A = this chain, B = another copy of it.
């Protein structure tokens, strides 16, 4: 459309730059997502000023975040969660608690940050990104090993715990301090929402299945899934959570039908189109001027805490399977990803987080994502790869 040209040019520029950086990172055997964020940092308004994402682009990036979490939800089968058993659950729970407590203690106790900011940064340290570890183990063809299954199972549980943590911290609202009564209400609300979606969401879809398949609309299951994704995003915000939590639970409800209805490849196509705008704008929001000596120290400390907390806490529950396996599980759980970024974005938008704290989270996310793959490759070097399918 004639008047939309600046928008199209902006979208084209962002899409191509993000993907070129992503490809360069992939060629260097580094995660593409870090490249896409770096594209935003380098080309964004705080550095070379090549692209300054406008309001519409930021809205499209927000839709990207929603579809990112919708995709994560679609890949998080509640049935699988029930199957993975107690080992994965223990790994996950320990791996959520340890970095949160350590992160909060350091930021509030040592650095003296305000509670709400310390809580947001600590929350960003919680959730493992299943994608990075899965990709590395997939490349090494060791997804069949018991350790890989524990990691993937724990990462599934981790996503759900991460969502509960985000629901609680995002629900703290714009209040100056932490109100414990409100916190407890939000926690119960988030847990109830989770349990409802895990146990009933899937059943509701199951009951609707014959009806959906009778509809005349083409691709009715996909349309229904998209409508629920948008609807639960709105609903989540209405009850004081972040929109993406609703999108995640919408994905969860459809996870069992993702294969049958071919939802995963279709939704991931929407994701392929929208996600680069999310990662790029995450980078473009990073003000490089905040990195003074004190913030750089905090970046390094938070990253070290984020790494050691996961390695120790996630490794400990599987120590009886040998220290090498424990180390593999621990390292496999260290990469943070989209959930950390979204916690940071929500914090920044709610003004619960300073630019410096935002910088710390971006640094920690990028660093944990970059450090884990080479270590994982080293630890798995003696596992026999599964025969190619």
Residues of chain A having any CB pair with chain B under 8 Å? 1-5, 7-9, 11-12, 15-16, 19, 22-23, 26-27, 32, 55-56, 59-60, 62-63, 65-66, 170, 215-219, 222-223, 226-227, 230-231, 233-234, 237-238, 242-244, 262, 265-270, 272-273, 345-346, 349-350
Contact = CB atoms under 8 A, between A and B. Distances in A.
Given A226-B273, A265-B266, A8 B56 contact: no
B217 A22 contact: yes
A237 B12 contact: no
A218 B222 CA distance: 22
A32 B243 contact: no
Contacts of A273: 226, 270
A230 B1 contact: no
Nearest to A32: B217
28 contacts: A2-B170, A2-B242, A2-B346, A3-B349, A4-B62, A4-B243, A5-B238, A5-B243, A8-B66, A8-B230, A8-B234, A9-B234, A11-B230, A12-B230, A12-B233, A15-B227, A23-B217, A26-B216, A27-B216, A32-B218, A56-B59, A222-B269, A222-B272, A262-B265, A265-B265, A265-B269, A266-B272, A270-B273
A217 B62 contact: no
A1 B243 contact: yes
Copies of this chain in the oligomer? 2
Contacts of A262: 265
Contacts of A227: 12, 15-16, 19
A353 to B, nearest CB: 13
Given A7-B62, A222-B269, 13 more contacts: A1-B244, A1-B345, A2-B349, A4-B243, A5-B234, A5-B238, A8-B243, A15-B230, A19-B217, A219-B269, A265-B265, A266-B269, A269-B269
B345 A12 contact: no
Nearest to A233: B8
A349 B1 contact: yes
A255 to B, nearest CB: 17
A3 B267 CA distance: 24
A263 to B, nearest CB: 9
A7 B59 CA distance: 8
Contacts of A7: 59, 62
Nearest to A267: B269
Given A23-B215, A217-B32, A266-B265, A231 B12 contact: yes
B62 A1 contact: yes
A16 to B, nearest CB: 5
A222 B273 CA distance: 9
B223 A272 contact: yes
Contact of A242 (B1, B56, B62, B223): B1
Contact of A272 (B5, B27, B56, B219): B219
